[in-house]
Each structure stands twice: as structure tokens, then as C-alpha cells.
Structure 1
Amino acid sequence: MAAVKYEIKETLGILSESSKGWSKELNLISWNDRDPKYDLRDWAPEHAKMGKGVTLSVEELKKLRELLNEIDL
């Protein structure tokens, strides 16, 4: 399997951290030299490893924000 190339362009925030040091982060990431997208996933310390995540375009992120704003918490 070919290696996935990524570059974290901007860290937008950390949602949580586990006792093992992993953090759930929202970042702007360029995958395989493509235009950056918004990405939500777990990262090991120093970004040495990553967990499964969700990558969103600007339009998808805006729609997610709308949906979250409608939720009565």
C-alpha cells in the first residue's frame, strides 16, 4: 500500500485528550499535495500516528455547523 502524504497547514483546535496522550483535533490538512480540507481525527503525541477520521470540504463544514447549531444541548 502506498504511503499517504499529508501536511497539517493549521491546527484549529483540540477537542479532547486521552490518558494515553492522543488528542482529537480539528485541523486544516493537505492530503497528497491536494487543496487543504478540514479534518477531524485522533492523533498520537507529536502526530506520530493517526486514527480514523473525517475529512470535510468548506461546504460540508458549513453544513455541519448549521446542523450543530440546530441541536438543543
Structure 2
Amino acid sequence: MAEIKFEIEETLGILSENAKGWKKELNLVSWNGREAKFDLRDWAPNHEKMGKGLTLSKEEIIELKTILNQLEM
């Protein structure tokens, strides 16, 4: 299996942290040298491991923001 390279270019926010120190973060991440995208996933302390996540383009994050703004909470 090929190695996946990533670079967290900017941490935009931390949504939560569990008892083991893993944090659910929204970051701008460059995967395999490509243009950075919005990325939401769990990260181990020091970002040495990651959980499954969701990667969104700028257009997708704008659409998600529109949807979230319409929710009544």
C-alpha cells in the first residue's frame, strides 16, 4: 500500500476531544502534494495517527455552511 503524505497547512478549529486525547479537528490539509482542502477528522495527539474523515472543496464547504445556517437549533 502506498504511503499517504499530508501536510496540515492550517488548523481552523477543534470541535471536541475524547478521553484518550484524540481531537476532532477542521483543518486545511494538503494530501500528496495537492492543493489544500478542508478536512474534518479525528487526530491523535501530535497528529501521529488519524481516523477516517471527510475532505471538502471550497465549494462544498460553502454549500455545507449554507445548509447549516438554515438549521434551527
> Deviation at 1:19?
0.5
Q: Match of 2:65?
A: 65
Q: Match of 1:50?
A: 50
Stretches (4+) displaced over 3 A: none
- Any idea what SS the aligned residue of 2:67 has? helix
Counting matched residue pairs gives: 73
**CA RMSD, 1 decimal:** 0.3
In structure 1, what is the Cα distance between the partners aligned to 2:48 and 2:8? 12
Q: Which runs of 5+ in 1 are unaligned?
A: none
In structure 2, what is the Cα distance between the partners aligned to 1:19 and 1:28? 25
Q: Match of 1:31?
A: 31
> Deviation at 1:9?
0.2
In structure 2, what is the Cα distance between the partners aligned to 1:14 and 1:30? 18
Q: Which runs of 5+ in 2 are unaligned?
A: none
In structure 2, what is the Cα distance between the partners aligned to 1:17 and 1:7? 21
